[in-house]
Amino acid sequence: MGKFDIALELIEIAKAQGAAYAKFQKRNAKEYLSEEQYNMPHPEMHQAFAPTYGKHREYLEFDIDQHSQLKAHCEKAGIKYACSVWDLTSAKEIISLNPDYIKVPSAANNNVELLKELRVNYSGDVHISLGMTTKAEEKQIFDIFNGENNSAGRLVLYICTSAYPVPESEIYLMEISRLLESYTGRIKAVGFSAHYSGISLDIAAYTLGATWFERHFTKERTWKGTDQAASLEPIGLYKVIRDLNNTYAALRFKDKDILDIEIPHRDKLKYRNS
């Protein structure tokens, strides 16, 4: 909501729930919006923080110095910092902070100049969501990174449906399998960027092969803003992380016929042939 103190608090909450990264967003509204889009009213004025959509976006924005402070606060709290970039200027600014990875949202994944900037002038991993993206645009993303510098090995591609919140029937988890079949050995990983309000499908996504999970979260879903309804509150975030970690621990083959934990129960309960 454009409140820096809340951002700092959310970092602490994310760490407490077990998250690996706190990811923010950086956008230059006058660069990625047309003049018409900038000056139009917000489509949901009761959720707006300013009279026009452009001013609304600017109200919510943190500058690069604040992002540097967010990164430092993450490091102090023991959680890693990452950021999504929506335009070339924002990409250059966040590159200067050298986070582990930079994310490109679905809305900007066809910005060729932005993608090439990340390929050429940034050495970390590049995570890209594929919401509202054609197969031709998906191929263009891969080809850009697979060309000069052969950087496709730094790519993490996320399945994503760009709606907020999205009904479960519109998530299409089998796209994870398609991405793995298409790109295994050529990209780093496949992820799941989820905009639904539940917690059950992350486990299904993991069993299908996704290894990165991105969830919107908030302290209070009743707060003002269009993303709140598609966000988890802290307990929901905790449960997603808990269940993913438990599934990771459980999803393996047995290494012996009788497990150590079973021995006392076998001695007590197992039928004995005379």
pLDDT tier at 147, thresholds 50, 70, 90:
confident
Q: Identify the H or E element spanning 35.
A: helix 35-39
β-pairing, 101-104 vs 125-129, is parallel
pLDDT of residue 57: 93
| pLDDT tens digits for range 115-135 | 999 999 999 999 999 999 999
Domains of the chain (ranges, CATH numbers): 1-81 (no CATH), 100-274 (3.20.20.70)
pLDDT of residue 240: 98
Query: Is the pLDDT assigned to residue 148 strictly greater than 80?
Result: no
Query: Is the pLDDT assigned to residue 167 strictly greater than 80?
Result: yes
